[in-house]
C-alpha cells in the first residue's frame, strides 16, 4: 500500500508527513518526526510510556494510527516545558526524585498534566487510578504520587 499524506498539528506547529496505514502515531512521532520523548514499552496500550494528548484527550499514541491524524492536534512531552522554564510537574519530579530510570517519566508527566487540567485537586486515590495506565517498575509509585499531589497543591496556591 502506498503511503498517505497527512497534515496535522504537533506541539502547536503544522506538520506534514507521509505515513504507511499500519504505522501508529507513536511510530510517526519517533521515526518520522524524530520526537523520541514518547517511549515504546509495550505497543498494546498497557504501559502508558507513549502517552500524548490528542485534541486535548490523554491517549496512548501506540493505539492511534498515524493516518487518523489528518487535521488533528497532538501534544507530546517535548512541548511540556516552555522555553527554559520547566512545567511545575517536571520541576517537582526532579526535586522529589520521582524518577529513577526515567523511561516511564515522559508518559507519567503527560498523564499527570492531563489529570491536573481536569482535576486540580485530586485525592491520592484519584491520582493513583488516573495514573494506573502508566507503569513504573523502579519507584513503587510513592514519590511519583507525592510529586503529583504536591504539584497540584502548589499550582492551586499560586493561582
Phi, psi for residue 142 in degrees, rounded to 5: -55, -55
Write the interaction track for other proteins spanning residues 113-142; mark x where CB under 8 A is met and - where it is not.
-xx--------xx-xxxxxxxxxxxxxxxx
Cβ proximity to other proteins, 121 vs 142, nearer residue:
142
Closest separation between CB of residue 135 and other proteins, Å?
Answer: 6
Strand, helix or coil at 146?
Answer: helix
d(CA 66, CA 26): 8
C-alpha cell at 28: 510517526
Q: Which of 9, 15, 33, 36 binds other proteins (CB under 8 A)?
A: 36
d(CA 48, CA 85): 25
Closest separation between CB of residue 155 and other proteins, Å?
Answer: 16
Closest separation between CB of residue 154 and other proteins, Å?
Answer: 16
Phi, psi for residue 119 in degrees, rounded to 5: -140, 95
Closest separation between CB of residue 127 and other proteins, Å?
Answer: 8
- Within positions 74 to 113, which residues make up the interface with other proteins, using CB under 8 A? 76-78, 80-81, 86, 90, 93-97, 99-106, 109, 111
d(CA 149, CA 155): 10
Amino acid at each position: 500500500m502506498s503511503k498517505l499524506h497527512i497534515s496535522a498539528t504537533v506541539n502547536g506547529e503544522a506538520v506534514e508527513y507521509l505515513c504507511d496505514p499500519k504505522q501508529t502515531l507513536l511510530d510517526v512521532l519517533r521515526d518520522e518526526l524524530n520526537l523520541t520523548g514518547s517511549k515504546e514499552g509495550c505497543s498494546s496500550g498497557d504501559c502508558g510510556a507513549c502517552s500524548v494528548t490528542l485534541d486535548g484527550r490523554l491517549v496512548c499514541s501506540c493505539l492511534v494510527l498515524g493516518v487518523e491524524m489528518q487535521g488533528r492536534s497532538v501534544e507530546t512531552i517535548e512541548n511540556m516545558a516552555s522555553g527554559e522554564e520547566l512545567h511545575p510537574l517536571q520541576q517537582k519530579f526532579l526535586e522529589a526524585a520521582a524518577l529513577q530510570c526515567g523511561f516511564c517519566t515522559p508518559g507519567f508527566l503527560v498523564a499527570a498534566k492531563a489529570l491536573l487540567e481536569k482535576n486540580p485537586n485530586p485525592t491520592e486515590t484519584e491520582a493513583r487510578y488516573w495514573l494506573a495506565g502508566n507503569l513504573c517498575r523502579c519507584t513503587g509509585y510513592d514519590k511519583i504520587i507525592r510529586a503529583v499531589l504536591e504539584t497540584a497543591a502548589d499550582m492551586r496556591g499560586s493561582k
